[in-house]
Amino acid sequence: MALTDDEKLALATRFAAATRANDAEAYRALVAPDAVTWHNFDDTEVTVEHTVRTVAWLHKTVRNLTWHDVELLPTPTGWVSRTIMTGEAPGGALRVHSCVVVTIDDDGLVRRVDEYLDPTQTAVLRA
């Protein structure tokens, strides 16, 4: 059964909250076990567990890590979210513009996340 636009946006809000709180269990509960996240900057698909580890690393590495919502729009297959991630990274101020295109399945679980960002904006993470 397809979700309504309001249900998709509610799921998107819970999905973002799980990431922002570094709540791995809440994140896992919202995604299909075989879900993938694809990155535009390396053309790679990663697993749920890889994504969970990356989010945990960000929270550990970046002081005052915050996501600022720019736009959240439902689509026929999920939603699109634009955000700006900020904080204090090892190499200085972090400011990353991101766009994710999320696809959900008929059970209302996230199946795929396509993440678009400029990797030059993340250089301060590797300092």
Structural tokens at position 9: 């946006």
What is the DSSP secondary structure assignment for residue 96, as one 8-state letter? E
Domain extents in the chain: 5-126
| pTM of full prediction above 0.85 | yes
- 5-126 classified as CATH 1.25.40.10: no
Give Cβ neighbours of residue 95 (< 8 Å, ≥ 6 apart): 84, 85, 86, 121
- With 0-12 / 13-18 / 19 or more C-beta atoms within 10 angstroms meaning exposed / middle / buried, residue 103 is middle
pLDDT digits (tens, 9 = 90+) for 37-95: 999 999 999 999 999 999 999 999 999 999 999 999 999 999 999 999 999 999 999 99
**Residue 19 near residue 55 (C-beta atoms within 8 A):** yes
